[in-house]
Amino acid sequence: MILVTGGTGLVGSHLLFELASEGRPLRALRRQGSNISLVRQLFLWYDPVRGQELFDAIEWVEGDLTDLFSLQEAISGVSQVYHCAAVVSFLPQDREVLLRNNVDGTANLVNLALSDNIEKFCHCSSVASLGVAPRGEMVDESLVWKTSGDHSWYAISKYGAEREVWRASEEGLPVVIVNPSVVIGPGDPARSSAQLYQSVKNGMKFYTSGVTGFVDARDVARCMRLLTEGDFLNERYIVNSENLPYKDLFTYFALYSGSRPPKYRAGRFLSEMAWRLEKTRSFITGQKPLLSKETARNANLKRYFSNKKICQALGIRFRPVEEAAKNTSRFFNKYPIFLSPDFRVPL
Ligand SMILES: NC(=O)c1ccc[n+]([C@@H]2O[C@H](COP(=O)([O-])OP(=O)(O)OC[C@H]3O[C@@H](n4cnc5c(N)ncnc54)[C@H](OP(=O)(O)O)[C@@H]3O)[C@@H](O)[C@H]2O)c1
């Protein structure tokens, strides 16, 4: 039996489909009240014939990374664990939630995996946990994290989570770690990287000059399965297809969703103004800001990620980012209900 955490999220749902299609027996952790209707639709999107049957074969168990007893039940009788659950937020006020769920939650899971003698533990980390390279330099797996005020709490929490996994590996847990760049695919458009699609669809007018790595969710899932099932131990792998300007991704989304691409470049000055205005609005209204200092500044950075190690290990050819954007847009063109908050009513 295989346990997948974060199965209702963008990465986890694609991983569930990847593993289910290969006939693996699956148990998926979901929190009380979390919605699985998008996961079911994804299964049908990728496999109209067998999708329902593959989805029905998943054993869903209720639990939370912060609740040790629920994890204990979820992991019992399991031989492999894929850990995709995490809080993804760039809001500084989510600091505590990020540290509790991502760092402490991962510590809970690896400790149980150690005591249950799990055969292989695949951890979904992030390029955020690699640290920041000197300007313009290509980042690879050897980059050493340096503490600085430039890191978001999300990055710090993902770094802390990855450290817990390395600690468990030193204590005897066989692990493999993936560090995906920005993941593109159909997912809940209210959270994680799936929000980028929603912004373009909503008619976002501005783009920034930043560059980063992007990767198709289907390729992340495939890499995770191949690394876990193969002979790869105690290593981390950047999972990235292409390094592109954000503007290119937005243009692909607009092209395939029938929207207008963002037209105006928001330079540093405008971005700095925007996050300050959002902070003020959030203070006055009590609502969460739509933009934080971290997101505004990251959107102007140029970051390049090497996929040499994973390509050499697996011989994989990544789908182009345009293909990922097309798949995402077509999914939402066909099922626009998932762009509305109505679908989040728990099933
Ligand atoms: N998306 C990206 O661009 C990207 C890039 C690099 C790395 N990653 C990493 O990939 C992983 C998955 O991200 P994602 O994009 O799929 O995020 P997502 O769509 O927001 O999904 C997050 C998942 O984590 C679950 N979760 C959060 N806190 C939990 C807790 N305390 N207990 C149990 N489950 C919990 C959520 O469950 P509920 O449904 O109950 O909320 C959901 O299934 C994360 O580790 C993230 O850091 C993502």
Q: List the chain residues with pLDDT less than 70.
A: 268-287, 289-291, 297, 343-347
Which residue out of 60, 192, 195, 219 has the highest number of ligand 1 atoms within 8 Å of its CB and is therefore the one to mutate? Answer: 192
Looking at residue 347, its pLDDT comes to 46
Q: Is the CB of 289 under 6 A from ligand 1?
A: no
Residue 229's nearest CA partner among 116, 127, 314 is: 314
Looking at residue 285, its pLDDT comes to 66
Residue 88's nearest CA partner among 192, 159, 7, 181 is: 192
Q: Identify the residue whose C-alpha is closest to ligand 1 atom 38.
A: 34
Measure the CA–CA gap between 235 and 300, rounded to whole angstroms: 30
Looking at residue 166, its pLDDT comes to 98
Measure the CA–CA gap between 251 and 217, rounded to whole angstroms: 19
Q: What's the pLDDT tens digit per position in 261-300?
A: 888 887 766 666 666 666 666 666 666 766 677 777 677 7
CATH 3.40.50.720 fits 2-338, yes or no: yes
Looking at residue 41, its pLDDT comes to 96
Q: Is the CB of 86 under 6 A from ligand 1?
A: yes
Looking at residue 275, its pLDDT comes to 61
Torsion sign (Cα): 138, 139, 141, 143: positive
Q: Identify the residue whose C-alpha is closest to ligand 1 atom 35.
A: 85
Q: If you measure from the C-alpha of residue 337 to the centroid of ligand 1, how many angstroms do you get, rounded to a whole number?
A: 21
Q: Are 304 and 127 in contact (CB under 8 A)?
A: no
Strand residue runs (E) in 22-116: 26-30, 59-62, 80-83
